[in-house]
Amino acid sequence: MKNMYLKNVKRSFFLYIMFSLLTGGFLFHFLPSYPHAENEGMTNKVFTAGEKVAIIEDNEQAGLVRLDLLKKAETRLAITYHTFHAGVWTDAFMAAVFEAADRGVEVDILFDGVLHNMRGDLRVIPYMLSTHPNITLKYYEPFNPFRPYTWHNRMHDKLIIVDDHYVMTGGRNIGDKYFKSDVDDIVYDRDIILVKEEINRDDQMSAITEMRQYFDELFYHSYSYEPIFAPSFYRERAVTEKKETLHEVHETFGKLVHLNMSEWEEEAIQVENIQIWHNPIERMNHTPVIWQNLMHLVTAAEESVLIQSPYIIPTDVMTSSFQKEMADDIQLKILTNSKEVTPNLLAYSGYDRYRGSLAENGAALYEYGGAGSIHGKTFIIDSHYSVIGSFNVDPRSAFLNTETVIVIEGEEFATALDAKIGNLKMDTRLVTKNNIQETDESEGVSFFKRAVLRLLTPFVPFIESLL
């Protein structure tokens, strides 16, 4: 009887593993959806105007500006982030969120249901958020062992929406490596802030309003759930300790914000037009709206295209419809992480498959090799269109994640943005078809990293659609 029971358990476990591999992995590889319906690109979106846009590049400024924005909130805060990392800056951010809620601001906050990383020192934060009377916490697609096909559909947006006056978005998650300049694993990223003008014409549609509508769609979607926490003595004791920590951090950082945050809004640039693009909220492989619109913009370029992304994985499924449409005389520049500095070996192994063809086909391929790594996601087309948001150039951002980008029209803004990227290019090397072998053998890559990349190489074609 016991042997029969064990045999049934093993059989059930085996069937579950096969079910998970099929619906949570192989299915994405063998059925990579790519709609062939005519896509009108930019013409199916409404341009908006009336906002100024500030570029936030410096790490410490990026942290302080976030605290300043939370402090400015009067009625409602809408916040969504992909992941958090325990540290002083995450404590400062959360302390500012609680302070806003304590003074009566309605706070809606959305975490990715799997990769939010609220563990360890942060594990009590979700409980504190969910029990505050002015805060509503939700998880997007929390882990469900019976729905493996949902495991890869992640919420990747990074948004702070303050009343109807400010929207902050970009590539940064929340953690010390994104907001400090003196850590070994420093990450260089980029945010932008839309600032609504005090007086808007009656016939203007606000980009901030459009972004809020998208957030509400995401927040109130059937895929987003409010977590349920059972009260306990342990949790209450942890809450008491965490409140003391957050209070001390808030006092310290409040002084820094007061001393340093007087000019960023004045430096915002008046732009001609703004567009909001976001991926559809769908499971499995969704319609690649952002990618299609980006490619229509890129293939219509007349002079130049500049792309910055921490991961560049231009799979055949992504590029087959656009490979021959871009004019031969367009200057294409790509900035991404080198093998030495990349923190994501799986993504780099995907990039490595296309690295040679990118260099051989005429792209000016710049690989960052300075301190830390780069994480910004930016397109600049013809020194006129600028695209910034959470979108990486990879299949995951194209087909699986929720993503948001803001498209900004205006030469003054594009010029300022290009200068920011130019500062990063000083720590890059240009990879060409003539020197690619030499750069492959460059020093600075640890034995461990090389070994892992060699092990991953045979498997990458089978998991490419999930990278």
Q: Higher confidence at residue 38 or residue 370?
A: 370
| Nearest CA-CA partner of 189 in 198, 179, 197, 199 | 179
Q: What is the pLDDT of residue 92?
A: 96
Q: Which residues contact 270 (CB under 8 A, 6 or more apart)?
A: 52, 410, 412
Same fold, 51-260 and 278-466: yes
Confidence label for 43 from pLDDT (cuts 50, 70 and 90): very low
Q: What is the pLDDT of residue 153?
A: 92
Question: What pLDDT, in 10s, does the model give residues 98-122?
Answer: 999 999 999 999 999 999 999 988 9
Question: What pLDDT, in 10s, does the model give residues 178-231?
Answer: 999 888 899 999 999 999 876 555 555 688 989 999 999 999 999 999 999 888
Spatial separation of the C-alpha atoms in residues 79 and 111, rounded to whole Å: 9
Q: Above 80 in pLDDT, residue 336?
A: yes
Q: What is the pLDDT of residue 42?
A: 43
What's the CATH fold of domain 51-260?
Endonuclease; Chain A (3.30.870)
DSSP character string of 239-293: HHHHHHHHHHHHHHHHHHHHHH-SSTTTTPEE-SEEEEEE----SSS---HHHHH
Spatial separation of the C-alpha atoms in residues 157 and 167, rounded to whole Å: 12
Spatial separation of the C-alpha atoms in residues 319 and 395, rounded to whole Å: 11
From 81-85, 232-236, 351-355, 420-424, the region with the lowest mean pLDDT: 232-236
Q: Which residue has the tokens 């016991």?
A: 2
Q: Above 70 in pLDDT, residue 265?
A: yes
Question: What pLDDT, in 10s, does the model give residues 161-185?
Answer: 999 899 999 999 999 999 998 888 9
- 3-state class percentages of the chain: helix first, strand second, coil last, to nearest 5: 40, 20, 35
Spatial separation of the C-alpha atoms in residues 332 and 306, rounded to whole Å: 6
- The conformational region for residue 169 under phi > 0 = left, psi -120 to 50 = alpha, else beta, is beta
What amino acid occupies position 282?
Answer: E
Contact 140, 110 (CB under 8 A): yes
Q: Is the alpha carbon torsion for 131, 100, 220, 404 positive or negative?
A: negative
From 59-63, 111-115, 438-442, 456-460, the region with the lowest mean pLDDT: 438-442
What are the distances in angstroms from CA 395 to CA 36, 131, 301, 433, 459? Answer: 17, 37, 23, 25, 16
The structural domains of the chain, with segments of one domain joined by +, span: 51-260, 278-466
Q: Above 70 in pLDDT, residue 58?
A: yes
State the chain's mean pLDDT as an integer.
Answer: 87
Question: What pLDDT, in 10s, does the model give residues 429-452?
Answer: 998 877 776 666 556 788 888 888
Q: Please compute the mean of the pLDDT values over residues 148-160 and round it to a whole number.
A: 93
Q: Which residue has the tokens 């990618």?
A: 291
Q: Please compute the mean of the pLDDT values over residues 60-84 and round it to a whole number.
A: 95
The number of residues making up the chain comes to: 467
Contact 375, 405 (CB under 8 A): no
Domain 278-466: assigned CATH number = 3.30.870.10
| Nearest CA-CA partner of 384 in 362, 353, 417, 406 | 417
Element containing residue 454 per DSSP (H, E): helix 447-456
Q: Of all residues in the chain, what percent carry a pLDDT higher than 70?
A: 84
Q: Please compute the mean of the pLDDT values over residues 301-319 and round it to a whole number.
A: 91
Q: What is the pLDDT of residue 202?
A: 52
User: Is 316 strand, coil or helix?
Assistant: helix
> pTM for this one?
0.92
User: Could you count the other beta carbons within 10 Å of the beta carbon of residue 255?
Assistant: 10
- The conformational region for residue 84 under phi > 0 = left, psi -120 to 50 = alpha, else beta, is beta
